[in-house]
Amino acid sequence: MIKEKNTYRIMISGGGTGGHIYPAIAIAHAWMEKHPESEILFVGAEGKMEMQKVPEAGYAIEGLPVAGLQRRLTLENLSFPFKLWDSINKARKLIKRFQPHAVVGVGGYASGPLLYVAQRKAIPTLIQEQNSYAGLTNKLLAKKAKAFCVAYDGMEKFFPENRIHFTGNPVRKDILNLSDKKEAALKHFGLDDDKPVILVLGGSLGARTINQAVLASMEYFEEKGYQLLWQTGRFYFEEMADKVENSGLKFIQALEFIKEMDLAYAAADMVISRAGALSVSELSLVGKPVIFVPSPNVAEDHQTKNAMACVNQEAALMLKDSEAVEGLAKKVDELMSDTDLQDRLGKNIKKMGKPNAAREIVEELEALIK
């Protein structure tokens, strides 16, 4: 542990999705709480959501022209080597200017060039892997990284076992205590306090299957007296909002993005969600009954593995993506009609939470610098 006061310079890189960005911001907040005299510089990918979300959280960010490889042959792939080379050169200049004590990578292709340059310059690097299946960038950088902070067992398949630290995933602090926020949450979203609230989350960009399943079930949900807070995601918002408006339903709220997630969680009696690593980690701390609908379109089907880690502990229910449109209403009824099951799922998922993840990652980072 570092005890003396000093101006530490930390670079944090990664992004592309909220699942990478929010853990990165949580790590930055935890570091600054402990070392407020420090400087932190984020590095992301130009045009991606981190370029907006990081400044909103109060940190400086530099963008690299790096882009991911498409799985199919496209014109974008032809420009990949040139963008990668430009990104490595810019990363080299950023590191020379900022002179970091350590560099943190949170996954996503944006972190590749920066950590590659840092490792070649013998600057200690820490990788934070959110998922049960390591991402390509993190696997490529694993050989020279000094520490790996993970959230799932069995990660020695990807990283050297003696450098793995089981910290869990860092999440935003405002969801750690929701017990006194219910009344404010219902008022904020204009919800009735005598009707159950279902929170639907498909990620910041949206989940087509979950949205189609809600569309197919929303009239039934309203008949049953349920209220829906439905984060449609950016890609689907206009279509879903139009359909809700044209339906004349009173208790279905289609929202593009929910910024006040602490209030959304506080309002919810149950949650329907994808099973990305950040979602699972947050819901483990929230302690509400959950139905996971894992995305099948991810590496090694890792969202199903994430969800099954909870199902096996009787901490959540799971509905296959292929069965969601037909089966969501029935699954919701199964949960809503069984208060014992709701209590059991809520208590068991809370046992899986790691509320001190960000603080533990900071301690590993301190050890690298020391």
Q: Is 131 annotated as a binding residue?
A: yes
Strands 102-105 and 60-64: unpaired
Q: Is 342 annotated as a binding residue?
A: no
Q: Is 357 annotated as a binding residue?
A: no
Q: Is 107 annotated as a binding residue?
A: no
Q: Is 282 annotated as a binding residue?
A: yes
Q: Is 303 annotated as a binding residue?
A: yes
Sign of the C-alpha dihedral, residues 211, 135, 310, 256?
Answer: negative
How many residues would you count in the chain? 370
Given a contact cutoff of 8 angstroms between Cβ atoms, the answer to whether 349 and 284 are in contact is: yes
Q: Is 280 annotated as a binding residue?
A: yes
Buried b / exposed e across 157-196, counting CB within 10 Å, b at 16+?
Answer: ebbeeebbbebbbbbbeebeebeebeeebbeebebeeeeb
Q: Is 92 annotated as a binding residue?
A: no
Q: Is 273 annotated as a binding residue?
A: no
Hey, what are 277's tokens? 């690593």
Q: Is 77 annotated as a binding residue?
A: no
Q: Is 118 annotated as a binding residue?
A: no
3-class SS of residue 72: coil
150 bridge partner residues:
129, 166
Sheet-wide strand order for 317-318: 252-255, 227-231, 197-201, 270-273, 290-292, 317-318
3-class SS of residue 197: strand
Q: Is 277 annotated as a binding residue?
A: yes
Q: What burial class does residue 203 get, using C-beta atoms within 10 Å of its C-beta: 0-12 exposed, 13-18 middle, 19+ buried? A: buried
3-class SS of residue 8: coil
Q: Is 137 annotated as a binding residue?
A: no
Between the two ends of the chain, the Cα-to-Cα distance in Å is: 8
Given a contact cutoff of 8 angstroms between Cβ atoms, the answer to whether 254 and 274 are in contact is: no
Q: Is 13 annotated as a binding residue?
A: no
| Annotated binding-site positions | 17-19, 131, 172, 204, 258, 277-282, 303
Q: Which residues are annotated as a binding site for UDP-N-acetyl-alpha-D-glucosamine?
A: 17-19, 131, 172, 204, 258, 277-282, 303
